[in-house]
Every structure is written in structure tokens, then in C-alpha cells.
Amino acid sequence: MIQVQDLVKSLDSRPVVRGLSFTARDGAITGLLGANGAGKTTTLRMICGVLQPESGSVTIEPGGAGALLDHMGIYPRLTVRENLAYFGMLRGMPPAVLAERIDHVLATLGLQAVAHRRTAGFSQGERMKTALGRAILHAPKNLLLDEPTNGLDVPTVRSLRDLLRRWRDAGACVLFSSHVLEEVGTLCDQVVIVEHGRVAAQGSPAELCRQTNSASLEDAFVKLTCTGDPAIC
């Protein structure tokens, strides 16, 4: 479970996140939905601990967190295995456990065939899978993903969604951000709509539609985040 309480963060004295609170449950996929610049990425980075909030708190239930942020750079001169091993060693995993976990992750993501290849020249999908493997190496109970499907082809997106569902069914807490409404609608049990660094609304996709009398999540999103721009509203 990930609990976020009154997070506040400014960038160059411009407020980006202003008092954001929500809870992502275990055994559920929670979608962080918002327009570009709404504060999704900054929020996820604060949850991961790479940015310090000015105020507010982040509580991650025991079981650890793994994250696939929008920066998913891997080392091109290292092989897939070496990329994974580097992060495993930084986590202090004993060599025997690490080797076993790497085998498991490579099998889960279907990366065995390229495991010993250097990652230079990898396709976008292979790079994403390597970065994802790195994030789930320590079998975290909480998983954060920042727009993970950006730039991926259809088969890769589908296999990623299947993985997320499987993890949820195994009891994990999955939190992912997106601005693709269709994706959030089909995948998420719970949606948190972020607008100008605050939570504009939250609930299941069906609840949000009912609440706003909308036929689709897209309509609901527009109604909930409408800022008075006549071209949109």
C-alpha cells in the first residue's frame, strides 16, 4: 500500500504539487491520470524518494517499492544480465539469491534470448523490459510506473498490461501514471485524477462516470478537470 499525504513541491519557486493526497491499495491497479504538467511525474519521483517533498509524507507499506520512471536509461555497454546484476548488488542482494532472481525475472519478461547481449541497439520494447526487470528484481510489493507504455508497440503494451494484472492478482500494489484515458479505463481499478498538483477526483472508472453523468472516462475527465476553457468544456 502506498499512502501519500499532503505532498507539496515547487520547482524554481513554481508550485507543481500542492497538497496532494491519495492511497493506492494492495491488490489493485491505481492510475494517476492527468494532463501534461499536472504533477504526476513529480509525485511519483517523490514517492520513489529521488525528490524530497517540501512538506507532506509518503508511506510505503513493508515489502519495498520498485519503480519504472520516465527515465528508463540502461547501460548500453553492459549486457542485460549485467544491467540487472548491477542494481541487485547495489541493493545488497547476496550473489546466489541475485542469480536466481535474475533468472526468474528474465523468464517472466521473456528476455532469456537476449540476456547475454549488450543492450546497445536494443529496441524500445527490449529496453523497457530490461528497465522493468531492474525495477522488479527485488520482488517489490509496490510497483510504480510512469507512463510505461509511451512509445511501445501493441504486442509489448499488451504483454506489459498482462504483467501488471498478474501482479495485482498476486496482491501487489501497482501505481501507474498515464495520460492515455483508454488505457487507464481498461486497466485501472482505481483512478486518481490530478489537476494542477491537486487531486481533482478519485474512484473507479465506473464511479467517476456515474458521478459526472458521463458515458466515457474521457467525458468524465474533461468535466472534472474543466478549467473554464470554452474550447474544451
Partner 1 sequence: MLNSVLVVARKEVIDSLRDTRSLTSSLMYALMGPAVVFMVSLASAAASRMDAVLIGMMSVFTLVAAFVGGMSVAMDTVAGERERQSLLPLLMNPVRRREIVWGKWLAVSLFAVAGLILNLAGFALVFARSGMHLPWPAVAAGILPLAFLAASIQLLISTVCRAAKEAQTYLSMLVFLPMGLGLFQVFFPVSAHAWFAFLPVLGQQLQLEYWMKGGSAAFVPAAALGCCTAVLALLVLEVAANRLHRDEIVYGN
Q: List residues binding partner 1 (CB under 8 A).
A: 11, 45, 48-52, 67, 69, 71-78, 82, 86-87, 89-92, 118, 131, 134-135
Nearest-approach distance from CB 76 to partner 1, in angstroms: 7
Q: Which residues pair with 199 in a beta bridge?
A: 194
Nearest-approach distance from CB 63 to partner 1, in angstroms: 14
Q: What residues have CB less than 8 Å from 5, skipping those under 6 apart?
A: 21, 56, 57, 58, 59
> Residue 112 carries which DSSP code?
G
Contact 147, 34 (CB under 8 A): no
Nearest-approach distance from CB 12 to partner 1, in angstroms: 9
Nearer to partner 1, 89 or 97 (CB): 89
Tell me the CB-side half-sphere exposure of residue 212, using CA atoms within 13 A. 22
Dihedrals phi, psi of 55, to nearest 5 degrees: -150, 170
Nearer to partner 1, 90 or 231 (CB): 90
Nearest-approach distance from CB 131 to partner 1, in angstroms: 7
Nearer to partner 1, 65 or 217 (CB): 65
Nearer to partner 1, 49 or 158 (CB): 49
Cell of 54: 517540501
